[in-house]
Amino acid sequence: MYKYLLLSLTIMASAPIYSADRSESECPICYDMMEDATNRRIELSCGHASCQECLTRILQLAVTEKNLALVKCPDPDCKSTTIERADIRKISNELKMKLDEIALSNLLDTSNLHGSESVRQCPSLDCASRFTYKAGGIEIVRCPGCNVEYCSNCLVKHPEDVTCEEHEAGQRATVDSRTLKTKMETTKPCPTCETAIEKIDGCLAVKCLNGNCLEFCFHCGRGHHLFVCNEEPTEKFVAYVQKLREQIEQAERQEGEAEQQRQREEAEQRQRQEEQEAQERREAEERRREQEAQQRREAEERRREQEAQQRREAEERRQEQEAQERREAEERQRQQREDDEELAFQLQLQARFFD
């Protein structure tokens, strides 16, 4: 008891009772030992430490008072303005969620007060996120939690060039005939507010959930309580059924038109696809022909280059052969001259000998 009273005084007084001279194993607020697993020592991001129980009491007081200014380090000399979110999660995740709700509530109040931005709850059933948008305008926003886009005004996804009223009217017009037939077979209108009522079981006496409506007979619409009713339906019941029949006929016409439109769109899509495939085939044929022509040009170029190379090689061989023949002829002439000179020399010797 003394511990909790001391903690309250520590939080609410202008000069909190905080002793930084205590050992690291003692809480500077309640002076209890922080070695027990049930009351462990928690060091904040600012560098100061206290026991988990004292820090929890600080957060609880902030939740009770709905005052986030109380969520701060108990050390009066601490320069940190608030306890970090990671530290709050270490102290108590449950209290962190409550403080987040208070912060969001403050954000909602501030946004509504200033009028510059507004905050909306995501309409997805499994998403608790909220998103902001410019007040006074309609825009397509994306929820940061589930990443789904919605209209900021009606919370329904529809094209930007379609107003919320036009989209809602279109949605009403797209009710299928089967749903209307089921409604005509299983529901009756409340005679007072004309709300469609469906009876699951029990007697014929039914009552609308609206507080000002009276009990009525589900068979004829009159205000009596009978287990079996053979009376003719009231004009409201007959008009209700007639209206539903007209809506069913209109829905069937719209479904027929939608089916024809769908078939036309499918036929147009098939035609576009066939034209695209034909265009692709033509382009492929043109590419093939261009490729074949390119190959023929390259082959012709290679053939001409090969023939030119062969002619050059043949010319070189001819020239080499002629040069070789000239060298051989010159060699034969030289040899002939040497033979003639040798023969003349021998003849001269013989003539001198006989002289």
- pLDDT tens for each residue of 142-163: 777 677 787 877 777 777 777 7
Q: Please provide residue 48's backbone torsions phi and psi, each rounded to the nearest 5 degrees.
A: -90, 155
Point out which residues pair with 226 in neighbouring strands.
none
Of the residues 68, 94, 114, which one is the last residue of a structural domain? 114
Q: Is residue 70 part of a domain?
A: yes
Q: Identify which of 124-133, 196-205, 241-250, 307-316 has the greatest average pLDDT.
A: 307-316
Give yes or no for a contact between 70 and 56, defined as CB atoms under 8 angstroms apart: no
Residues 207 and 102 in one domain: no
Percent of the chain with pLDDT over 90: 19
Reported pTM? 0.34
| Run of H or E residues at 340 | helix 235-354
The answer, yes or no, to whether residue 15 has pLDDT greater than 60, is no
The answer, yes or no, to whether residue 14 has pLDDT greater than 50, is no
Contact assessment for residue 95 and residue 122, using Cβ atoms and an 8 Å cutoff:
no
The residue range of the domain holding 95 is: 2-114
Distance CA 277, CA 274 (A): 5
Residue 347 covered by a domain:
no
- In this structure, the answer to whether residues 104 and 205 fall within a common structural domain is no
Using one digit for the tens of pLDDT, what is the confidence trace for 57-98? 889 888 888 888 888 888 877 877 788 888 888 888 888 888
Bigger pLDDT: 106 vs 304: 304
Closest CA to 40 of 30, 28, 50, 48: 50
The number of domains in the chain is: 2
- For residues 208 and 217, what is the distance between their CA atoms, to the nearest angstrom? 11
* 56 falls within a domain: yes
């007060």: which residue's tokens?
A: 113
- Answer yes or no: do 205 and 108 share one domain: no
* Same structural domain, 102 and 207: no
- Supply the mean pLDDT for the chain: 78
Please report which helix (H) or strand (E) contains residue 117, including its range. strand 117-121
pLDDT in tens, 159-201: 777 777 776 666 655 567 788 788 888 888 888 777 788 887 7
pLDDT of 288 strictly over 90: yes
Residue 129 lies in a domain: no
Instruction: Look at residue 12 and tell me whether its pLDDT is greater than 60.
Output: no
Q: How far apart are CA 84 and CA 4, in angstroms?
A: 23
